Amino acid sequence: MSSGNDRQPQTLTKPALGEREAAELVDRVFGLKVVWIRSLPSYDDQNFHVRVSAEGADEYVLKITNSEDSQEPDLIEAQTQAMMFLSVEGFPSATPYLTKDGNIMSLESRGTTPGSKKYMVRLLTYLPGTPVAKITTNAQILYEIGRLAASVDKVLSEKFQHPSVKSLHRGQFIWNLANVPLLDQYIYALGQNKYRAVVEQVIEQFKGKVIPKLSSFRACINHGDLNDHNILVESSSASLENPQYRVSGILDFSDMSYGYYVFEVAIVIMYMMIESPDPLSVGGHVLAGFESILPLTAEERGALFLLVSGRFAQSLVIAAHTALQYPENKEYLTITAKTGWKHLMTMFEVGQKAVEKMWFETGQAYTYHTPAP
């Protein structure tokens, strides 16, 4: 769910290549003959699942970045280098197939006229697994995802070095959690209703209670979008009554930016709530996994409720705004909204103290009993 450094969502220009055009691109840029191709859902880029071998062993994702983000080659370089770094470090991250020129990406024009849009193109290894959105989550996988989020941010922040990393200082990037106050300019997309009133309350509380405390949070590099569609899992047990899962893939690094460790756990909690039958309990299991790697400080814990609420607000407001710009993609853009509004309203009805009590008591219970791997 990305947008560029300092630009706003309404300027997004999503690619719209057909399958034949995409297959020809793979041949021309990467020197591979596509034998099978299908479009994958996406927010503001365009993705295709391609197979280049009749045996089906060689599968990739062709990622065509929107024309605005394509003007930020250093940023895309940083994202791709981070994926390669994490793969070397043992994380289930995709890696790029090099172009015929030996590069990890290529800027391609669509059309030959002077004003033709240019798109950055990459071919990434296809990762197996089922999106978390398609399974019934349980305490075990929520804990594992919490551990994963902390581990990814920790290793990126402590060990990832590349000249392009400076591009992750993304200023007014709309999806960075520090920028919840920027939602003021898009809130009109909600119309006038009870939902808008709650979002306005979130924004005002965020300005007053979170923004002044940012300097006390521990800074890091955030993946920034570990949502229920960007984490793939595979079953690690045959039990139908008590299924166990392992993470088999981490997708979509386009929202990477410098932020804070507590941002990542808040983002994960919010997205794991979306598909859960018991959403308010989710936070404790995710938090326990995260804190098994990186315990939060008192200041970070105190901001968690508003950070989760802030991510709900970002997702719901930006989706509503972008759906007005791209009505043909409305169904995908508003996936989160189907249950997101209900969960945000419930959080505010139950109240911060009660929700935090539930999260922290669940997390504390893991001190005495850690789930089996």
The catalytic residue positions are 225
User: Which two structure tokens, joined as six digits, stand for 52?
Assistant: 């280049």
Number of H helices, E strands in the chain: 10, 11
- Kindly list the distances between the CA atom of residue 354 and the CA atoms of 281, 287, 305, 365, in Å, as whole numbers in the listed order: 11, 16, 10, 17
φ/ψ of residue 137, rounded to 5: -70, 150
Q: In sequence order, which residues have a C-beta less than 8 Å from that of residue 150 and are 6 or more positions away? A: 261, 264, 265, 289, 290, 291, 292, 293, 294
Within 10 angstroms of residue 241's Cβ, the number of other Cβ atoms is 4
In terms of Cα–Cα distance, which of 148, 176, 152 is closest to 85?
Answer: 152
C-alpha 75/C-alpha 91 separation (Å) is 21
- Kindly list the distances between the CA atom of residue 311 and the CA atoms of 155, 224, 273, 348, in Å, as whole numbers in the listed order: 24, 10, 12, 14
CB 359 within 8 A of CB 293: no
What is the DSSP track for 303-350?
A: HHHHHHHHHHHHHHHHHHHHHHH-GGGHHHHTTTHHHHHHHHHHHHHH
Q: For 165-187, b where at least 16 C-beta lie within 10 A, e where not — what string? A: bebbebeebbbbbbbbebbeebb
User: Which two structure tokens, joined as six digits, stand for 284?
Assistant: 């404790």
Give the number of C-alpha atoms closer than 13 A to the C-alpha of residue 242, restricted to the C-beta side.
4
DSSP conformational letter for 98:
P
List, in sequence order, every residue forming a beta bridge with 47; answer none if it has no partner: 40, 63
